[in-house]
Amino acid sequence: MRVLGVDPGSVRTGYGIIERDGTRLRLITAGTLTAGEKAPLEERLLTIHTGLVALIEEYAPGAAAVEDIFMAKFPNAALKLGHARGVALLAIAQAGLAVHPYPPAVVKRSIVGKGAADKTQVARIVGAMLGLTELPGIDATDALAIALTHAQAARMHAALAPAAKLASAAKSGRPGAPRRAAKGRPPPKTGR
């Protein structure tokens, strides 16, 4: 499964695409989309959109994960971040991919083991997980961390899906569902 991770920002938007094959993880590409700090906001947003559309077309990820918005100290910065995230969501939705949002603390906990980890800790572990000898920029490693978080969550979900299906069938009383004994009685014999 290929996963696109996006770390939205109004000046720099990090992206990373990984591939998970069983337990094996592999970097496909990573980098930063930027039109420059001095560029007008609409130009920066266009750069994010066209860049993500091109990446999705070229690498065909099967899933996309985006960092969720957190509360910022400065309302104007939060608004610009919201614009950048919205443009990223649009590019992903136009490609027909579902968006999987992850708050920063969840990503850090998934990668480092603690939600208060700093960016250098996250980058170092992302590099180790992907076997990188050279790390891309901090925005790209954040995006890779988001992609890795989703790859791990999807793997866990796939592993638990059969058990959830059985539990649902047992609850509904459908044929083929495991039988439960009534209170105080042994389970019925099945002839085995």
Residue 75 lies in a domain: yes
> Looking at residue 62, which CATH number applies to its domain?
3.30.420.10
The mean pLDDT of 108-126, rounded to a whole number, is 92
Active site residue 42: no
Total domains in the chain come to 1
With beta carbons less than 8 A apart as the criterion, state whether 81 and 9 touch: yes
Question: pTM here?
Answer: 0.81
Burial of 53 (0-12, 13-18, 19+ CB in 10 A): middle
Domain that holds residue 60: 2-172
How far apart (Å, rounded) are the C-alpha atoms in residues 43 and 51?
12
Per residue in 132-143, pLDDT tens?
Answer: 999 999 999 999
Q: Which of 7, 37, 42, 118 is catalytic?
A: 7
- Residue-wise pLDDT for 143-176, tens only, equals 999 999 999 988 776 666 566 566 666 666 665 5
Q: Is residue 83 part of a domain?
A: yes
- Whether residue 11 lies inside any domain: the answer is yes
Catalytic, out of 67, 118, 134, 142: 67
Q: Which of 22, 154, 144 is nearest to 97 (CA)?
A: 154
142 is catalytic: no
Q: Is residue 180 part of a domain?
A: no
Residue 189 lies in a domain: no
Residue at 191 is within a domain: no
Residue 150: which of 70, 30, 65, 69 has the closest Cα?
A: 65
Q: State phi, psi for 135 to the nearest 5 degrees.
A: -90, 140
43 catalytic, yes or no? no
